[in-house]
Amino acid sequence: MISPAALSAVAPDPGRAPDQLSDRWLLALAARLVREVGELIKRSTKAGQRRAAGSAG
Reply yes or no on whether the pLDDT at 37 is more than 70.
Answer: yes
Which tops the pLDDT comparison, 28 or 2? 28
Give tens-digit pLDDT for 15-25. 776 677 788 88
pLDDT confidence bin for 7, thresholds 50/70/90 = low
What is the value of pTM for the model shown?
Answer: 0.54
Distance of alpha carbon 47 from alpha carbon 23, whole angstroms = 36
Provide the mean pLDDT of the chain: 74
Q: What count of other Cβ atoms lies within 10 Å of the Cβ of residue 31?
A: 16
